Structure 1
Amino acid sequence: MTAFEKFPLGKPGFVSNILDRAAHLRGDDAKLLALEGESSSRAYVVHRDSLVVAQDADSPRALLTIEEALKFGANPGTIFLGLREGSAIFGMGISAAAVEALLPRNDVKVSELRGMAMQGVVPPEQLSAIAMAKSMVTWHQRHGFCANCGTRTAMKEGGWKRDCPNCKAEHFPRTDPVVIMLVTSGDKVLLGRQKQFLPGMYSCLAGFVEAAETIEDAVRREIFEESGIRCTDVTYYMTQPWPYPSSLMIGCTARATNEDIVVDHSELEDARWFSRAEATLMIKREHPDGLAGPHPFAIAHHLLGRWVHGGNNATA
């Protein structure tokens, strides 16, 4: 199965949710403890940007039994992600020392999540739950102390809250909104590349939404700051959770009102206008100069592909 088949238009990575979050169970410590002990319960084990997977005979397996996760060295504190067909799914972290001990083994592998997702090693329908696990594990690792008084906080509500025993402050995981935009001018599209991109790859421009800023204003500001292009007619398309560490990509389209590009080289290596014909070849990986668009795993591919297949008003 190709990447285009794994992530058809309108279905980038991390959007196909298989879980009932079952938030009503988060406050029931006894129930959650009982669920951890059930043989049908499973866990995703996350280390930084990587995932711990069992090496079965036929293929890697991301969804581990709780017993497997603990034997591999996962931390005992579990985050309740939700239910799948009545069985509990948890997220677990693992220390760097435990990961080091796993590296020589043949029955387990620690692999970078994005690479596995793009290659289809992890089933696309599991990626949303894995993104949840990764975001939540990262949040707990970074927010172990109260931002108000500095006291060590305690995990509560199945991992969806941390409480300070000293000042009684409650801390909740956050999601950072990011706008990502397809900007067009007639039959041309604006794409840019960052230095860390693969050679020849161009993608949609993007940036974080700032405090007290609307999505529309963020789109216009980011495009102007990075490329000198003024925009109007900002329209929402779709969102994609992005667990690096915990963002929400807000896909939008916009129409340019000028075409003279002034690249901010602190943000971009290059930005260019591409014709629809060129963009089509880039998506297909058939451009004569070796240029390519974003991978179908990313929302940028779906913004560009939607435009290539009939414009911003086309259905995905």
Structure 2
Amino acid sequence: MRQAETVTFGGGGLNRAEDLRRHPDQLAALPVRTLLLWRGKPLLDRSRGALQLLDGSAFDAFDPPVFVGEVEGAAIWARDVSALEVEGADDTLGAFLDPSEQSHPDLPPGSAFVELRATMTQMSALDAEIAATAKGALEWHRTHRFCSNCGAETTPGKAGWMRACGSCGRSHFPRTDPVVIMLITRGDRVLLGRSHGWPEGFFSCLAGFMEPGETMEGAVRREVWEETGVRVGPVRYLASQPWPFPGSLMLGAHGEAITEEITVDEEEIAEAIWLDRSEVLSVFAGTHPTVTPARKGAIARFLLEAWLADRLT
């Protein structure tokens, strides 16, 4: 797929500078810019719709930062400040569509912590990649503080890209969970599903986690069969998207259905439907009577728009 890396969080060109992680003296010699995240929300300059990077080791009383990469000769670090007492934490915090913004008097005027999914399409490709990397890495640290081998508490190292166990000597590294997300078509129609907990009428491509020992193609066929009872024949890879909610790599694929009768497994999803091209066009135009479109910036929408425009090759 020629435009694969134009998906949100892809193609930002971030220099991750892995060599500097292994040479702390060289890393320490670079100017420091810090991105703060509060409960996974990056700090944005609202006037520019860009990340708000602070000079120096900002808020260094909080957890150790993670080195994200080198940009224009500066070291970009990310720091979790979720313990910070902020303003603006209302009832919409953590909702499916979280419009809330949080601020703090010690932060630059006009800056706020904003839900990444609400702003990801407004950022430059580089800013989006920095934010996704920072969110994913910090979430891994938050949920992997103890050794999976012996249970002892671990300590971060390698500029935040590993955790070491002083008890048994094991080293642990950030994980990314592979998820297949499928554009399933049969002729001029596409198969969409709605998960439990999603708003009524909100449909997207089917998706599911890959299992050990499974190919991407096998995972596509298994997930579609389990969720909808539809059998899939040929499968091909299209594009991928890092998805730090909390820590997945979405593997976008195109599958050709060889059956069309839907039998939903209600433990897996709430409902599934076939829509033809004209119906999907009306969904994106906002004129469909019952269906609302997949979220802007998500690979599901990227794949559906590519299918509508005959850009899957």
TM-score range, shorter chain: 0.7 to 0.9
Distance 1:209 1:11 in 2: 24
TM-aligned CA distance change 1:76 to 1:141, over 3 Å: closer
Matched-pair contact (CA < 8 Å) for 1:236–1:253: yes
Distance 2:79 2:13 in 1: 18
Distance 2:162 2:40 in 1: 22
User: Secondary structure at the residue paired with 1:180?
Assistant: strand
1:240 matched to 2:241: yes
Q: Which shows bigger deviation, 201-210 or 264-273?
A: 264-273
In the alignment, which of 14, 37, 42 is matched to residue 51 of structure 1? 42
1:29-108 correspondence runs (5 A):
29-35=24-30, 38=31, 41-54=32-45, 58-59=47-48, 61-67=50-56, 69-70=58-59, 75=62, 77-99=64-86, 103=103, 105=105, 107=109, 108=111
User: How big is the shift at 1:179?
Assistant: 0.2
Distance 1:69 1:113 in 2: 21
User: How big is the shift at 1:117?
Assistant: 2.0
Distance 2:62 2:35 in 1: 12
Once the two structures are superposed, residues 129-184 of structure 1 have per-residue CA deviations (whole angstroms, 9 ceiling, x without a partner) of 11110111111111122121222222111111111122111111110000000111
User: How big is the shift at 1:74?
Assistant: 6.6
User: How big is the shift at 1:23?
Assistant: 0.7
TM-aligned CA distance change 1:185 to 1:240, over 3 Å: same
TM-aligned CA distance change 1:252 to 1:74, over 3 Å: farther
TM-aligned CA distance change 1:113 to 1:214, over 3 Å: same
Matched-pair contact (CA < 8 Å) for 1:93–1:137: yes
Corresponding position of 2:98: none
TM-score by length of 1: 0.85
Count of residues in Structure 1 that have an aligned counterpart in Structure 2: 295
User: How big is the shift at 1:88?
Assistant: 1.4
Matched-pair contact (CA < 8 Å) for 2:40–2:139: no
TM-score by length of 2: 0.86
User: How big is the shift at 1:92?
Assistant: 1.0
User: How big is the shift at 1:21?
Assistant: 0.9
One-letter identity of the residue aligned with 1:235:
R
Distance 2:180 2:187 in 1: 22
Distance 2:144 2:312 in 1: 43
Structure 2: tracts of 5 or more residues without a match: 89-101
Corresponding position of 2:116: 113
TM-aligned CA distance change 1:43 to 1:128, over 3 Å: same
Corresponding position of 1:4: none
User: How big is the shift at 1:196?
Assistant: 3.0
Matched-pair contact (CA < 8 Å) for 1:74–1:92: no
User: How big is the shift at 1:226?
Assistant: 0.5
Once the two structures are superposed, residues 85-121 of structure 1 have per-residue CA deviations (whole angstroms, 9 ceiling, x without a partner) of 2221111111324446974648342221211225x2x
Structure 1: tracts of 5 or more residues without a match: 1-7
User: Secondary structure at the residue paired with 2:272?
Assistant: strand
User: How big is the shift at 1:60?
Assistant: 5.2
1:267 matched to 2:268: yes
TM-aligned CA distance change 1:309 to 1:95, over 3 Å: closer
One-letter identity of the residue aligned with 2:153:
R
Corresponding position of 1:179: 180
User: Secondary structure at the residue paired with 2:58?
Assistant: helix
Once the two structures are superposed, residues 53-107 of structure 1 have per-residue CA deviations (whole angstroms, 9 ceiling, x without a partner) of 355xx3454232244832xx77262211111122211111113244469746483
TM-aligned CA distance change 1:224 to 1:153, over 3 Å: same
Once the two structures are superposed, residues 261-298 of structure 1 have per-residue CA deviations (whole angstroms, 9 ceiling, x without a partner) of 001122222111111111122123232x1423213301
Matched-pair contact (CA < 8 Å) for 1:54–1:109: yes
Indicate the RMSD between aligned Cα atoms, in angstroms.
2.3
Q: Which shows bigger deviation, 185-194 or 226-235?
A: 185-194
Matched-pair contact (CA < 8 Å) for 2:34–2:55: yes
Distance 2:27 2:213 in 1: 38
One-letter identity of the residue aligned with 2:196:
K
Q: Which shows bigger deviation, 203-212 or 192-201?
A: 192-201
Distance 2:87 2:164 in 1: 32
